[in-house]
């Protein structure tokens, strides 16, 4: 049976199983998928399958940046009846996993553990509520979520003692209408399946189609950001520019020689499709076809995957992309993709817009708000800033004050000097006008740097901790980019790559486009973002005067964690003559670079630099220039 076709909410009945005096499980269930994305989409539907004594799961192709098809056990005693587990590779990149439960095991739980293991130990931030599903293709709306439960077309939602198993239900209409929703406690939202959009133009059902909900972005299924994301992005490529177009009712992505990807009618783009496109300089979107949700969802997925997209003005029927993404696609010409830096800048802007508008987590938070649910607040980021230099406090606070798309607080550790110094007091007072919470800690000057960082971490109240250096430049979406990377990477620690360096002594900016969007412990120490729980598991920062960043990253990896490096275009490392815990000479930066410019010339994503807060010492104002 095709799990994409079987409606979520309808149990699969097997003759001779589950009845009175009959066995409670079948002998074998085999699930075959082309990609891990397909497997995640099947989790919600697999909840309708009977338990199985033998479960076989095969995935045809798993790209190199993902792990093997090995499950992460769900808990301490939930798999006590597991008898045997086999994992083997098939062909070049295929995997097969078999599990044997003599008493019968739940299929959906096993699939969830498998996709969790392939993508990383951590599941990423949740939505704060449980979603229910009904209809064909519903698995695409909440992929990989074991909490997603099927619901009858008219309700009510199943109860777990006194609590509904879902907080909101999404029903998919195939163009034939849906019955009245009878559950007065759990709200339901209706959307149309992708197939409904392909009804013949004269069909009365087609004429009656309309969007349930005010926001056109919510018309299509979301993008599974845990797999469809920038991981594997290549900075320097020599391939052609592909074309995404509709041809004879099919949506194809082709280059000048062959079809790279044929997009299915539901618009799904998988991680395997993205792997086939990484050598392209970009993709030009041809809007001249009939259009519809297939094209819209495919474009959103490519943008979320970091594929540089260009094209003319976006037509009205593609309003579901959202205004920001639509404007970005039409803002760049194909000729600009030949410049590696402009190409990556464009890719970053596209992925930001697509992930924020079309990611699963973002879409369900929007659906919950539409249904009238109280959406939990986003996690708070506690920025830890430790400095020995009073004159840099205003500079660093100005960088933090302009962060957007993030809830934050600041813990300012003054290492060896009081907050009463005029330049410090004025900067703190001006920062207070932003309304961002600020805690000031006066640390003893004789305490080593790593210990001061731990004292600062002890004073945070947020769930996430971001390390901040006092003399480096940060773009206004630096923290927001790290939060996105944390959501799609599944990593315990995320940070930016070290691409830009300003050599203050010789007034020179150097750029080295290191590999980004990959698992790597080589991140800039001033960009570390992690959970408070990870800091607790690793014991915090080592009480050493230097190299505390690299030692923390090493401890995170040794404890079984993962470090993910996102792009470095929104961060510039400053190298002056002294005062750095990373002790290396200027020759290192001059030897390891791709391009260099006289003066301070960062990426356009840095969006210039703000003037320092409070008193503004002349020696620092010269480094707050504008765009490159």
Mean pLDDT throughout 153-166?
A: 92
Region of residue 531 (left: phi > 0; alpha: psi -120 to 50; beta: else): beta
Mean pLDDT of the chain: 89
Give buried/exposed letters for 181-211 (b at 16+ CB in 10 A, else e). bebeebbbbbbbbbbbbbbeeeeeeeeeeee
Q: What confidence tier does 306 reach under pLDDT thresholds 50, 70, 90?
A: very high
- Structure tokens, 203: 């069909």
Q: What single-letter DSSP state applies at residue 378? A: P
Look at residue 248 in the predicted model and tell me its pLDDT: 83
Q: What confidence tier does 65 reach under pLDDT thresholds 50, 70, 90?
A: confident
Q: What confidence tier does 202 reach under pLDDT thresholds 50, 70, 90?
A: very low
Beta strand residue intervals within 264-379, DSSP E: 282-285, 309-311
Q: Name the residue among 487, 512, 493, 479 with its Cα closest to residue 597.
A: 512
CB 183, CB 132: distance < 8 Å: no
Give 8-55 pLDDT, tens digit per residue.
988 888 988 888 888 888 999 999 999 999 999 999 999 999 999 999
Q: Is 50 exceeded by the pLDDT of residue 582?
A: no
Q: Name the residue among 153, 239, 215 with its Cα closest to residue 370.
A: 215
Look at residue 585 in the predicted model and tell me its pLDDT: 61
pTM value surpassing 0.85: yes
Q: Mention every residue, 6+ apart, whose C-beta is less than 8 A from residue 463.
A: 379, 380, 531, 532
Mean pLDDT throughout 292-313?
A: 95
List domains and CATH numbers for the chain.
Answer: 25-208 (no CATH), 241-358 (no CATH), 380-621 (3.90.550.10)
74 versus 502: which is more confidently predicted? 502
How far is Cα 569 from Cα 498, in angstroms, rounded to an integer? 9
Percent of the chain with pLDDT over 90: 71
Q: Is 60 exceeded by the pLDDT of residue 207?
A: no
Look at residue 436 in the predicted model and tell me its pLDDT: 97
Look at residue 482 in the predicted model and tell me its pLDDT: 97
Mean pLDDT throughout 166-177?
A: 91
Look at residue 411 in the predicted model and tell me its pLDDT: 98
Q: List the 25-33 sheet strands across, edge first.
A: 25-33, 51-59, 94-105, 84-90
12 versus 578: which is more confidently predicted? 12
Q: What confidence tier does 249 reach under pLDDT thresholds 50, 70, 90?
A: confident
SS3 of 241-296: the string is: EEEEEEECCEEEEECCCCEEEEECCCCCCCHHHHHHHCCCCEEEECCCCCCCHHHH
Look at residue 121 in the predicted model and tell me its pLDDT: 67
The phi, psi pair for 52, rounded to 5°, reads: -135, 140
How far is Cα 74 from Cα 79, in angstroms, rounded to an integer? 8
Q: Which helix (H) or strand (E) holds 490?
A: none
Beta bridge partners of 565: 495, 518
3-class secondary-structure state, position 135: strand
Q: Is 70 exceeded by the pLDDT of residue 199?
A: no
How far is Cα 424 from Cα 614, in angstroms, rounded to an integer? 7
- Structure tokens, 549: 């960043």
Beta strand residue intervals within 300-445, DSSP E: 309-311, 380-387, 407-415, 438-443
Output the CA angle 470-527-64, nearest 5 degrees: 165
Please report how the helices 393-401 and 422-432 are oriented relative to each other, as an axis angle in degrees rounded to 10: 10
13 versus 418: which is more confidently predicted? 418
Look at residue 627 in the predicted model and tell me its pLDDT: 29
7 versus 431: which is more confidently predicted? 431
Beta strand residue intervals within 342-469, DSSP E: 380-387, 407-415, 438-443, 464-468
Give 460-472 pLDDT, tens digit per residue.
999 999 999 999 9
Look at residue 127 in the predicted model and tell me its pLDDT: 83
CB 292, CB 197: distance < 8 Å: yes
How far is Cα 34 from Cα 60, in angstroms, rounded to an integer? 5
Percent of the chain with pLDDT over 70: 91
How far is Cα 481 from Cα 450, in angstroms, rounded to an integer? 26
């Amino acid at each position: 049976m095709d799990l994409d076709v079987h409606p979520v909410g309808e149990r699969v009945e097997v003759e001779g199983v589950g009845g009175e005096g009959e066995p409670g499980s079948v002998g074998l269930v085999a699930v075959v998928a082309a990609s891990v994305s397909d497997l995640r989409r099947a989790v919600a539907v697999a909840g309708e399958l009977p338990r199985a004594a033998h479960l076989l799961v095969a995935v045809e192709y798993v790209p190199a940046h993902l792990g093997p098809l090995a499950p992460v056990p769900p808990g301490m005693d939930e798999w006590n009846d597991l008898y045997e587990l086999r994992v083997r590779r098939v062909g070049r990149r295929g995997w097969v996993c078999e599990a044997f439960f003599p008493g019968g095991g739940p299929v959906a739980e096993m699939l969830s553990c498998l996709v969790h293991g392939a993508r990383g130990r951590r599941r990423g931030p949740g939505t704060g509520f449980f979603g229910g599903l009904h209809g064909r293709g519903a698995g695409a709306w909440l992929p990989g979520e074991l909490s997603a439960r099927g619901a009858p077309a008219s309700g009510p939602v199943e109860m777990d003692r006194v609590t509904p198993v879902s907080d909101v239900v999404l029903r998919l209409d195939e163009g034939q209408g849906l019955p009245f929703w009878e559950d007065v406690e759990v709200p339901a939202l209706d959307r149309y399946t992708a197939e409904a959009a392909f009804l013949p133009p004269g069909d009365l059902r087609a004429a009656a189609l309309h969007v349930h909900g005010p926001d056109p972005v919510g018309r299509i299924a979301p993008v599974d950001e845990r797999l469809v994301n920038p991981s594997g992005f290549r900075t320097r490529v020599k391939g052609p520019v592909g074309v995404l177009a509709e041809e004879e009712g099919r949506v194809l992505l082709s280059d000048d020689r062959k079809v790279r990807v044929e997009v299915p009618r539901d618009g799904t783009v998988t991680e395997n499709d993205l792997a086939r496109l990484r050598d392209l300089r970009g993709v030009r979107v041809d809007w001249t076809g009939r259009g519809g949700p297939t094209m819209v969802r495919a474009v959103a997925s490519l943008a979320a995957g970091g594929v540089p997209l260009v094209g003319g003005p976006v037509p009205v029927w593609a309003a579901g992309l959202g205004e920001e993404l639509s404007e970005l696609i039409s803002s760049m010409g194909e000729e600009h993709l030949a410049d590696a830096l402009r190409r990556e800048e464009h890719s970053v802007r596209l992925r930001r817009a697509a992930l924020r508008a079309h990611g699963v987590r973002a879409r369900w938070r929007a659906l919950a708000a539409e249904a009238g649910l109280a959406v939990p607040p986003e996690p708070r980021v506690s920025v830890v800033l430790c400095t020995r230099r009073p004159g840099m406090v205003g500079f660093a606070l100005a960088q933090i004050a302009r962060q957007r798309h993030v809830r934050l607080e600041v813990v300012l550790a003054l290492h060896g000097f009081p907050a009463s110094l005029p330049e410090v007091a004025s900067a703190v007072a001006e920062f207070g006008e932003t309304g961002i919470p600020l805690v000031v800690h006066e640390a003893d000057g004789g305490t080593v740097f790593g210990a001061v960082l731990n004292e600062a971490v002890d004073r945070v109240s947020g769930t996430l901790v971001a390390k901040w250096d006092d003399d480096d430049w940060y773009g206004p979406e630096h923290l927001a980019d790290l939060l996105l990377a944390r959501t799609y990477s599944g990593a315990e620690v995320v940070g930016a790559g070290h691409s830009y360096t300003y050599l203050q002594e010789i007034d020179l900016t150097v750029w080295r486009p290191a590999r980004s969007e990959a698992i790597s412990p080589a991140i800039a120490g001033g960009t570390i973002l992690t959970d408070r729980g990870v800091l607790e598991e690793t014991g915090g920062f080592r009480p050493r005067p230097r190299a505390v960043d690299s030692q923390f990253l090493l401890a995170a990896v040794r404890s079984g964690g993962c470090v993910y490096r996102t792009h470095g275009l929104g961060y510039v490392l400053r190298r002056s003559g002294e005062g750095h815990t990373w002790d290396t000479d200027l020759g290192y930066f001059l030897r390891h670079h791709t391009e260099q410019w006289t003066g301070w010339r960062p990426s356009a994503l840095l969006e210039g630099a703000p003037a320092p807060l409070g008193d503004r010492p002349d020696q620092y104002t010269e480094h707050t220039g504008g765009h490159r």
